[in-house]
């Protein structure tokens, strides 16, 4: 779609009485400048969405954009420029009253995305339909991808126990190391909430600082995270480097 289509869609949504809608923007795009990005953000703000999601471009293997990059049709994204674009967006959205509640998400008061908050708070969710994923009762699972196979599987009667069904293609119990890693990776994304240290210890039977003693000290020394009021949170410096932070908090199965 193009921008005119977005404007039309927003107008139709408002005519239908919808006020709670989200718009996505992508920064770090080859050829995008800081000035053009600022214009994009300001233009979207004029549409007055309740929620905004801003994502840094990731060039995936096997995509046309990767081929363009390899044959020199486009230049590789500039990470320093992307960091400046992110910082600029943080400033502009704050000036317009949007709460930066998750690394890539901003909302007007009371309009944070309840669906995604379940993921970021490491909550359970059920997967329904072909290709869906679920996480419940200590199990992570994936439904078969093909709709015809999915429908055929549902007609089978020997259903396994909750949360699985006859349409499940793969599943595995979530190990302690995986559960801890998931908690760190998802809850740290919530900038105001972060990881509740008391709740973490109650859930896993061990203080976070004991599990991650050397790693945590390093992250604190680098000022990528901070501990205050019983919570571990990313710092503004850590927002843009969050993937590196998450990587260092991933545990292997021997932990």
Tens of pLDDT, residues 219-229: 999 999 999 99
pLDDT of residue 254: 66
Mean pLDDT in the chain?
95
Residue 70, both tokens = 């390899």
Q: Is residue 13 part of a domain?
A: yes
> Measured over all CA atoms, what is the biggest interatomic distance in the chain, rounded to whole angstroms?
60
pLDDT confidence band for 253 (50 / 70 / 90): confident
Q: Residue 11 and residue 34: Cα distance in Å, rounded?
A: 28
Q: Is residue 24 part of a domain?
A: yes
Please state the three-class secondary structure of 82-130 as a single string.
HHHHHHHHHHHHHHCCCEEEECCEEECCCCCCHHHHHHHCCCCECCCCC
Q: Residue 127 and residue 143: Cα distance in Å, rounded?
A: 7
Q: Is residue 137 part of a domain?
A: yes
pLDDT confidence band for 255 (50 / 70 / 90): low
| Total length of the chain | 255
Omega cis (within 30) before 149: no
Regarding whether 168 and 217 lie in a shared domain, the answer is no
Q: Is residue 242 part of a domain?
A: yes
Residue 120: pLDDT over 90: yes
Q: Is residue 119 part of a domain?
A: no
Backbone angles phi, psi at 232, to 5 degrees: -105, 125
Which of 114-118, 159-163, 199-203 is predicted with the least confidence, judged by mean pLDDT?
159-163
Regarding whether 29 and 96 lie in a shared domain, the answer is yes
- CB-CB neighbours of 112 under 10 Å: 19
Domains of the chain: total: 3
pLDDT confidence band for 100 (50 / 70 / 90): very high
3-class SS shares of the chain: helix, strand, coil, % to 5: 45, 20, 40
Per the CB < 8 A criterion, the answer to whether 194 and 188 are in contact is: yes
Average pLDDT over residues 69-78: 93
Q: Is residue 236 part of a domain?
A: yes
Q: Is residue 123 part of a domain?
A: no
Residue 176, both tokens = 């302690």
For 210, what's the count of Cα atoms within 13 Å in the CB-facing half-sphere?
8
Regarding whether 184 and 89 lie in a shared domain, the answer is no
Is the pTM value of this prediction over 0.85? yes
CATH of the domain at 244: 1.10.10.920
Q: Apex CA 235: angle with CA 233 and CA 239, to 5°?
A: 100
Average pLDDT over residues 168-192: 96
Per the CB < 8 A criterion, the answer to whether 89 and 61 are in contact is: no
Q: Is residue 118 part of a domain?
A: no
Whole domain around residue 163: which residue ranges?
A: 133-173
Which letter, b or e, does each residue of 78-90 get, where b requires 16 or more Cβ atoms within 10 Å of its Cβ?
eeebbbebbebbb
């Amino acid at each position: 779609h193009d921008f005119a289509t977005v404007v039309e869609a927003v107008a139709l949504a408002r005519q239908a009485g919808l006020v709670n809608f989200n718009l996505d923007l992508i920064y770090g795009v080859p050829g995008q400048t800081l000035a053009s990005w600022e214009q994009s953000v300001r233009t979207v703000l004029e549409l007055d969405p309740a929620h905004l999601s801003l994502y840094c471009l990731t060039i995936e293997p096997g995509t046309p954009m990767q081929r363009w990059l390899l044959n020199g049709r486009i230049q590789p994204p500039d990470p320093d420029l992307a960091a400046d674009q992110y910082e600029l967006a943080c400033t502009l959205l704050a000036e317009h009253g949007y709460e930066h509640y998750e690394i890539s998400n901003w909302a007007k008061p009371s309009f944070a995305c309840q669906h995604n908050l379940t993921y970021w708070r490491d909550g359970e969710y059920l997967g329904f339909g072909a290709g869906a994923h679920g996480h419940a009762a200590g199990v992570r699972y994936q439904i078969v991808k093909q709709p015809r196979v999915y429908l055929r599987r549902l007609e089978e009667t020997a259903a396994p126990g909750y949360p699985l069904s006859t349409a499940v293609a793969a599943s595995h119990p979530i190990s302690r190391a995986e559960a801890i890693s998931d908690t760190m990776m998802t809850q740290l994304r919530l900038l105001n909430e972060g990881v509740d240290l008391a709740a973490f210890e109650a859930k896993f039977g061990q203080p976070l600082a004991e599990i991650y003693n050397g790693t945590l000290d390093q992250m604190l020394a680098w000022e990528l995270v901070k501990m205050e009021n019983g919570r571990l949170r990313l710092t503004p410096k850590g927002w843009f480097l969050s993937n590196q932070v998450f990587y260092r908090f991933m545990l292997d199965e021997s932990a």
